[in-house]
Structure 1
Amino acid sequence: MTGTLTPAPTPTRPTTVPPARPHRRRADLGWIATVLKYAALVIACLFALLPIVTIFALAFKTPEEYRTTGPLDPPSNWFNLDNFVIAFTQGGMLTGFVNTAIILVVSITGTILIGTMTAYAVDRFRFRGRALVTGVFLLATLVPSITTQVATFQVISALDLFNTRWAAIVLFTGTDIIAIYIFLQFMQNIPVALDEAAMIDGANRFTVYWRIILPLLKPAIATVVIIKGIAVYNEFYIPFLYMPSRDLGVISTSLFRFMGPFGSQWEVIAAGTILVIVPTLLAFLFLQRFIYNGLTSGATK
């Protein structure tokens, strides 16, 4: 008996729906995170710029406009410079700029010389207690300066430097541990072979420092000049405490004294504030890449 063989049916697998991939969910979360990030940045910028915009608009207003307009209302004449003239002449801002310039130049020059020499000695010389000296430098950055003000004031009085420019110059020059640390980081990137080659040619230690090390530290010097310069320019506590004379006022203390004769003339006070802010703002905008490059260049070897 012949018959046809029918093939057995192949078992069919149950059809299952693959689970949905979370790509869309991740995309939605990324979009929300981006929106929140930029919203936070915009809010932070508003908080930072709103007071500056208010002061800038107020500096160009007349006394009548100050009393009758809102803080964010623009002035009727953006070329009204009367407040700036009053602040610069009657407010003593010219004397403040002169004193600030003298203290700034002398203290930064001293900081560079002392800092580079200290970094050169600590990095190049091998002596007993070298690691301890480096540790003390770093430990000094953790000590709050306000805790040593009594002893510092006694030292300044004993040296007969109170109420002179030298009080601020000495304090600005001798207390910058951060500058020494920056110079040390850069010094470690300079090969010791350069020193040895120069000394084989007959150069002494000071010649090596002055002709080889100091020129190679130009990026670090630029960084210290910018950071130290902005700090000295904006310093208020040291000039106010150690130089109380009006003839020795710097820009910060001169602006503080505006509250006396110009206590009710807020438009003049705003003009003086703009005169103080503009140099620092311009210096930072034009030199910020040197600050970032200088700090990061010395961070790695």
Structure 2
Amino acid sequence: MEILSPFAKTVRTILSIILIIYTTLILFVVAMTLLDSFKTKTDLVTNFTGFPKVFSLDSYKAVLFDDDFLSYFRNSLILTLVGTGGCIFLSSLTAYGIARYDFKGKAFLTSYLFLGMMIPVQVSILPVFLILKNLHLLNNLLGLILVYISSISMSCLVFQKFFHTVPRALEESARLDGAGDFKIFFRIVMPVSKPVLLSMALITGVIQWNDFYMPMVLLGSRATKTLTLAIYQYVGQFAKYMSESMAAVVITLIPVIILYFLFSNQMVAGLTSGAIKE
């Protein structure tokens, strides 16, 4: 049984209270957003924090059918699925090479990945913008997909930590049977890495799904607009599109909430699987 000092108990109590308050505030905001999305514009102005007098779907109809919101949803879905899949594939391969092989510059490469996590994206946006401009990939989903795929720093470091805990005996047995490096990676290492793969895919996917800054800078045309840019359009004219703003936010939150409830346990297990070496 864990025995805590009085100071540790006090710190734990304070942190618990802070987390409870924070969680309560978040749940309140989400609940108010959901309720407000079912209100009419008149009801929303006069009854912002209360229950709807009449539940109305007019806001959702306006967002989904009057605007081109479904195409924005499609763009965000394509960016997230392809960007996340490419990022996880590239980062897992890179991390496996760093974890299993010795080569010149290995320490530098690891430090470079740490540096990639510490430097804000705003610092590197100008060279990224110029590169995509020279490649004629501005206002193109492919350009942003390539940027998302290259964002491997965090996932690569997590994979690298986990791969150190995978027994080498599994790989050596397969190598004796004639399996090559890629066959070992895809047939042996990847199956035992499913918890970490799922965790990093969910984290990366949510980050890319909610990303606003990169699409704002790199995607300017209406045909490539994402959900976050569409929400910004509504919020920018909030007095005119109050109910539509709420409906747009709810639609954007639905995939994230579903993924959280379906895979929250696996995500926690994946993040902690490489923390303790048995």
TM score, norm. by length of structure 2: 0.88
Q: Is the 8 A contact 1:59 1:270 kept in 2?
A: yes
Indicate whether 1:244 and 2:231 are aligned: no
1:89/1:184 Cα in 2 relative to 1: closer, same or farther (>3 Å)? same
**Structure 2, unpaired ranges of 5+:** 1-5
Matched length: 269
Sequence identity, in percent?
25
Select the residue among 50, 75, 92 that pairs with 2:52: 75
Q: After TM superposition, give the deviation of residue 170 of structure 1 in Å.
A: 0.7
Indicate the residue corresponding to 1:191 in structure 2.
Answer: 167
Query: Structure 1: where are the runs of 5+ without partners?
Result: 1-25
Q: Higher helix proportion, which one?
A: 2
Deviation at 1:146, TM superposition (A): 1.2
Shift of 1:39: 6.3
CA distance in 1: counterparts of 2:114 and 2:20, whole angstroms: 37
Larger Rg: 1
CA deviation vs aligned residue, 1:232-284 (integer Å, no higher than 9, x gap):
11001111111111111111111122257875131121111111122212222
Partners of 1:91 and 1:258 within 8 A in 2: no
Distance between the aligned counterparts of 1:147 and 1:260, measured in 2?
25
Task: Please state if 1:294 is matched with 2:249.
Answer: no
**TM-score, length-scaled by structure 1:** 0.82
Q: Which piece of structure 1 moves more, 117-126 or 250-259? A: 250-259
| C-alpha displacement of 1:40 | 5.1
Inter-CA distance 40–173: structure 2 relative to 1 (3 Å threshold)? closer
Q: Once the 2 structures are TM-superposed, how far is the Cα of residue 161 of structure 1 from its aligned partner? A: 0.9
The RMSD of aligned alpha carbons is 2.4
Distance across 1 between alignment mates of 2:276 and 2:19: 30
Q: Which residue of 2 aligns with 1:218?
A: 194
CA gap of 1:268–1:140, structure 2 versus 1, over 3 A, is closer
The answer to whether residue 278 in structure 2 is matched with residue 273 in structure 1 is no
- Distance, in Å, in 1 between the alignment partners of 2:43 and 2:106 is 64
Equivalent in the alignment of 1:104: 80
**Deviations, residues 176-222 of structure 1 (Å, cap 9, x unaligned):** 20110111111111112222221221122122112212222211110
Any idea what SS the aligned residue of 1:141 has? helix
